[in-house]
Chains A and B, each alone.
Chain A
């Protein structure tokens, strides 16, 4: 199998302030995160010849990657505005790595930014999301995107006995992580009871089972491994990537409790030549608490149906089997729309560089990032490591 394993590295990361950041445009969030990522990498913008980003919900640019490039004053020879909804984060890193490995570009910026909180009211944000459902077969029934995910959680509870308390535990654990992450949007401690007492949104999900709405942006700089060794930061190597697109409509999904994440992660593990038990820390797209429970299973960290007890047993935090979302994730750190999944990748890079401060997972050498979207329509997994060959 052809592979980019060990051929490409992330050499710089940048994050803007997140949460409520009024007055800033989606372009600014992209550009500011990119500026910081280039500064982190010690590279000049003149060295960037590729740029990948995702569309903004708020800004009207159809060619967002071209608009961001112009804003930054760069003229890349590789450009892509990628949209596979929530899976865009890991997928765009994979695409950038493939482009570098194939010789389409030498140094690629992958960035994403949006102002979902300040640029859209919460009602408008929700409306934008419902309008992303099929106008023939879904939207007339008042289907929130959240409801598509809720349907999967409800079925998971019926099939495997997963409890609302186990779902809530995900929010509680990651809130604890966010409390140690400077700049996180939500840092007040919460309990399982708080989650269950928060307003019902779409059963079984309460307000605190759902990701935030935020402003913010993140960026990475990628280049070939042989070049990465000469740069100022410890390179974080791309060891594997996999994607899976199983359906558009939730009603066309073969299963709603086993997802394309099982396929995308299998491909990523195979490319990297590692197994789930080798992974030290993970960034898992956490649009909802139940999403995390199902992903722990599909990514191979526990058996199918055991995600709830796995969370309850303390396995997703320090001292457990696999600490996840050490920055707090989209449930507590930030979720500005498509950029939401990019912060998980920034955090995994910091973990592998050993720069996570009091959030550091001791001795982390292998990290997995998984992004997903559209009620598990899209899934993308990447595996990162401190060594070129895992």
Chain B
């Protein structure tokens, strides 16, 4: 690890999300009006604009919707990490999110593989949601 990697600036929209991750929960917002499940954390439902949203922990399981192994670091802070694999994870609840894989050799990564969340505590406030290959296929 070198230098300061970009850390998310917590605001009112995302406070609950980062607090959830810090205690080991990946929160998805469930709309009480229309049932829509959304990622990322917002003050209103992206489908019906209702402000009534219920943050519920996700299963933390999903599958690799797509991936790319980064060989050229975006900045010096990521130099020691390359090659690392960025994944677009499709959560079993439906929404997708960007993350990186841990404990997974890049050449073994395939689209469709099941993954599960790993909570990577970076600072007392910030825990980044990362993923690793899951043993069994997920129901979703």
CB-nearest residue of chain B to A149: B68
Stretch from A129-137, A175-183, A215-223 forming part of the interface with B: A129-137
A135-B8, A136-B40 known; A144+B72 contact, CB < 8 A: yes
How far apart are B89's CB and chain A's nearest CB, in angstroms? 8
Q: How many A-B residue pairs have CB under 8 A?
A: 110
- Find chain B residues with CB under 8 A from A256 CB: 65-66, 88
- State A203–B66 Cα separation when bound (angstroms): 11
- Find chain A residues with CB under 8 A from B69 CB: 200, 202-203
Q: Is A82 in contact with chain B by the CB < 8 A criterion?
A: no
- State A141–B85 Cα separation when bound (angstroms): 9
Report yes or no: A143 in contact with B86, Cβ–Cβ below 8 A: yes
Q: Is B128 in contact with chain A by the CB < 8 A criterion?
A: yes
Query: Which residue of the partner chain, among B9, B65, B111, contacts A136 with CB atoms under 8 Å?
Result: B9
- State A127–B5 Cα separation when bound (angstroms): 12
Q: Interface code B33-55, partner A: CB below 8 Å = 1, 0 otherwise?
A: 00000011000000000000000
Q: Interface code A21-59, partner B: CB below 8 Å = 1, 0 otherwise?
A: 000000000000000000000000000000000000000
Q: Interface code A90-130, partner B: CB below 8 Å = 1, 0 otherwise?
A: 00000000000000000000000000000000010011011
Report yes or no: B66 in contact with A155, Cβ–Cβ below 8 A: yes
Most buried by A among B8, B65, B76, B86: B86
How far apart are A122's CB and chain B's nearest CB, in angstroms? 10
- Find chain A residues with CB under 8 A from B111 CB: 154-155, 158
- State A43–B111 Cα separation when bound (angstroms): 56
Query: Which residue of the partner chain, among A127, A135, A150, contacts B74 with CB atoms under 8 Å?
Result: A127
Query: Which residue of the partner chain, among B67, B96, B98, contacts A154 with CB atoms under 8 Å?
Result: B67
How far apart are B12's CB and chain A's nearest CB, in angstroms? 12
Query: Which residue of the partner chain, among A123, A129, A137, A139, contacts B76 with CB atoms under 8 Å?
Result: A123
- State A249–B98 Cα separation when bound (angstroms): 9
Report yes or no: A138 in contact with B98, Cβ–Cβ below 8 A: yes
Q: Is B119 in contact with chain A by the CB < 8 A criterion?
A: no
What number of B residues sit within 8 Å (CB to CB) of A?
A: 38
How far apart are A129's CB and chain B's nearest CB, in angstroms? 7
Report yes or no: A140 in contact with B5, Cβ–Cβ below 8 A: yes
Query: Which residue of the partner chain, among A130, A203, A250, contacts B75 with CB atoms under 8 Å?
Result: A130
CB-nearest residue of chain B to A150: B68
Can you list 16 residue pairs at the A/B interface with Cβ under 8 Å? A127-B75, A130-B74, A139-B6, A139-B8, A140-B7, A140-B122, A141-B100, A142-B5, A142-B84, A151-B68, A151-B88, A200-B83, A202-B69, A203-B69, A205-B68, A251-B96
Known: A151-B86, A151-B88, A251-B97. 20 other contacts (CB 8 A): A127-B75, A130-B75, A137-B98, A139-B8, A140-B122, A141-B86, A141-B99, A141-B128, A142-B5, A142-B81, A142-B100, A155-B65, A155-B88, A158-B112, A201-B71, A203-B69, A249-B40, A249-B98, A251-B98, A256-B65
Residues of A within 8 A of B (CB): 123, 126-127, 129-131, 135-144, 147, 150-152, 154-155, 158, 199-205, 249-252, 256
Residues of B within 8 A of A (CB): 5-9, 14, 39-40, 65-76, 78, 81, 83-84, 86, 88, 95-100, 106, 111-112, 122, 126, 128
